[in-house]
């Protein structure tokens, strides 16, 4: 058994065991929803563009059973804390992780799926929190899985992802796009997912057996990510207005080249990133589908340069990690991934050398920066699921 499979099994076993200890009976169900890593296509989702993420083999698990009253009681093993709320309490709180659960319950209610009975359970996960691997989307989609089981609502990944995004935007107050929620809901084992963030159409793209996806956490976190993220969104919207289109998705590279000289420099750079990144995502999906990992790697490298130079969301440690990863003979390409400003890089490497790559790159990074990175060799996993 691989080490990660053992760890995932351990989390699942832990929530079941803890549930039995607390409630004196086995859970009715266990819900699971994965974190994600984005192979290419960052800051494109909120521009109605394209992304190519995969769900990873790290997830949030919730063991639960219904209650007879209208209360939700949840014990978090990771935060070592029991928290609760009444289903009909529509006031937002500041209870940290619980607000993601409350937000999803609220969002389902706005869509006509009001829960009438509460539930109780145990939650735990192995998606590192705050690393940019979407532990919050995983918690949201695991909650949606719980709620749909209790309310007897059909699980429709796209609908649930939209509702989870609504919870994050309107309840938690983070203005994210759709990528994290949709891949956590709709991931497919062994595949990355090309997502059209306007139509929400998806195309599963197999990851060749010869390639491994390695996530390299720089062990840097940056505050104020929200304000920088919102600023980038506003700059993109200004760019779309200037081109007279609903979103930058509607600007192709030729139109951009012909007309962009009239834009102010910052807006021009931001828009150029989005326009070129969308083209790279589509090219990378095709290259991956035909097994051309060298071409995917080159596109990943170009993506990093664009995020660093035009979109200005990288930082020194991410650039260092990416350079060290690329210097390894087994690496096809590497880039920062997710919102940026800190967190993780992702590398596409030869499967047979993934362990050695992970060790060597981690050591080189620690020598260069004095920070100890976490490194995860990830396999692409299925989206949110429910087991008896």
CB 72 within 8 A of CB 84: yes
DSSP assignment of 271-310 = HHHHHHHHHHHHHHHHHHHTT-HHHHHHHHHHHHHHHHHT
Judged by CB, which is closer to ligand GLA: 89, or 237? 237
Catalytic residue, candidates 48, 180, 310, 360? 180
Q: How far is the CB of 75 from ligand GLA (least distance, A)?
A: 27
Judged by CB, which is closer to ligand GLA: 146, or 179? 179
- Identify the residue among 140, 180, 277, 317 touching ligand GLA (CB under 6 A): 180
Q: How far is the CB of 136 from ligand GLA (least distance, A)?
A: 8
Judged by CB, which is closer to ligand GLA: 32, or 43? 43
Number of residues that bind ligand GLA (CB under 6 A): 10
Judged by CB, which is closer to ligand GLA: 44, or 260? 44
Length of the chain: 388
Judged by CB, which is closer to ligand GLA: 41, or 118? 41
Q: How far is the CB of 332 from ligand GLA (least distance, A)?
A: 21
In the sheet that 202-206 helps form, which strands lie side by side, from edge to edge?
Answer: 50-51, 191-196, 202-206
Contacts of 167 (CB under 8 A, 6+ apart): 100, 103, 104, 106, 107, 140
Q: Is 330 in the site for ligand GLA (CB under 6 A)?
A: no
Q: How far apart are CA 104 and CA 111, in angstroms?
A: 11
Q: Is 343 in the site for ligand GLA (CB under 6 A)?
A: no
Q: Is 338 in the site for ligand GLA (CB under 6 A)?
A: yes
> Partners of 54 in the beta sheet?
37
β-bridge pairing 211-217 and 344-350: antiparallel
Tell which positions 66-125 bind ligand GLA, by CB under 6 A.
Answer: none
Judged by CB, which is closer to ligand GLA: 63, or 384? 384
SS3 category, 268: helix
Q: How far is the CB of 71 from ligand GLA (least distance, A)?
A: 30
Tell which positions 149-178 bind ligand GLA, by CB under 6 A.
Answer: 176-177
Q: What are phi and psi of 208, to 5 degrees?
A: -60, 145
Q: Is 339 in the site for ligand GLA (CB under 6 A)?
A: yes
Q: How far is the CB of 305 from ligand GLA (least distance, A)?
A: 16
Q: How far is the CB of 238 from ligand GLA (least distance, A)?
A: 17
- Identify the residue among 179, 247, 275, 285 touching ligand GLA (CB under 6 A): 179
DSSP assignment of 60-113 = EEEEEEE-SSSEEEEEETTTTEEEEEETT-------THHHHHHHHHHHHHHTT-
Judged by CB, which is closer to ligand GLA: 322, or 339? 339
**180 has catalytic annotation:** yes
Q: How far is the CB of 48 from ligand GLA (least distance, A)?
A: 12
Q: How far is the CB of 256 from ligand GLA (least distance, A)?
A: 19
- Identify the residue among 18, 45, 57, 120 touching ligand GLA (CB under 6 A): 45
Q: Is 42 in the site for ligand GLA (CB under 6 A)?
A: yes
Q: How far apart are CA 258 and CA 243, in angstroms?
A: 11
Q: How far apart are CA 57 and CA 377, in angstroms?
A: 9
Q: How far apart are CA 206 and CA 183, in angstroms?
A: 15
C-alpha angle with apex 74: 159 to 67, nearest 5 degrees?
Answer: 80
Mapped to the 3 state alphabet, what secondary structure does 333-355 carry?
Answer: EEEECCCCCCCEEEEEEEHHHHH
Judged by CB, which is closer to ligand GLA: 43, or 332? 43
- Identify the residue among 12, 29, 32, 43 touching ligand GLA (CB under 6 A): 43
Contacts of 372 (CB under 8 A, 6+ apart): 219, 362, 366
- Catalytic residue numbers read 180
Q: In the complex, which residues of this chain contact ligand GLA (CB under 6 A)?
A: 42-43, 45-46, 176-177, 179-180, 338-339
């Amino acid at each position: 058994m691989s080490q990660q499979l053992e760890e995932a099994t351990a989390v699942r076993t832990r929530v079941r065991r803890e549930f039995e200890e607390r409630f004196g009976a086995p859970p009715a169900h266990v819900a699971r929803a994965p974190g994600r890593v984005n192979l290419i296509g960052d800051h494109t989702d909120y521009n109605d563009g394209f992304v190519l993420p995969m769900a990873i083999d790290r997830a949030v698990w919730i063991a639960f059973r219904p209650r007879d009253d209208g209360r939700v009681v949840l014990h978090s093993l990771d935060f070592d804390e029991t928290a609760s709320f009444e289903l009909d309490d529509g006031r937002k709180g500041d209870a940290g992780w619980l607000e993601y659960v409350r937000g999803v319950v609220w969002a389902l209610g706005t869509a006509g799926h009001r829960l009438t009975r509460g539930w109780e359970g145990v939650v735990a996960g192995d998606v590192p929190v705050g690393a940019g691997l979407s532990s919050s989307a995983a918690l949201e989609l695991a909650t949606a899985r719980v709620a749909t089981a209790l309310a007897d609502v059909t699980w429709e990944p796209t609908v649930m992802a939209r509702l989870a995004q609504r919870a994050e935007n309107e309840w938690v107050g983070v203005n994210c796009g759709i990528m994290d929620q949709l891949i956590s809901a709709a991931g497919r084992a062994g595949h990355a997912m090309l997502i059209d963030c306007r139509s929400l159409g998806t195309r599963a793209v197999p990851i060749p057996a010869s390639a491994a996806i390695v996530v390299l956490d720089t062990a840097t976190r940056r505050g104020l990510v929200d304000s920088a993220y919102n600023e980038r969104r506003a700059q993109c919207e200004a760019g779309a207005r200037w081109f007279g289109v609903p979103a930058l998705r509607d600007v192709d590279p030729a139109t951009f080249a012909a007309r962009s000289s009239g834009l102010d420099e910052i807006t021009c750079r931001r828009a150029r990133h989005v326009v070129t990144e969308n083209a790279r995502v589509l090219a990378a999906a095709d290259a991956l589908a035909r097994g051309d990992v060298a071409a995917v790697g080159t596109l990943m490298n170009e993506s990093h340069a664009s995020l660093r130079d035009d979109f200005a969301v990288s930082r020194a440690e991410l650039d260092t990690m990416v350079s060290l990863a690329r210097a390894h003979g087994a690496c096809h390409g590497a880039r920062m991934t997710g919102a940026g400003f800190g967190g993780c890089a992702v590398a596409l490497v030869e499967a047979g050398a993934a362990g050695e790559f992970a060790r060597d790159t981690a050591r080189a990074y620690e020598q260069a920066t004095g920070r100890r990175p976490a490194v995860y060799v990830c396999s692409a996993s299925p989206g949110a699921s429910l087991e008896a």
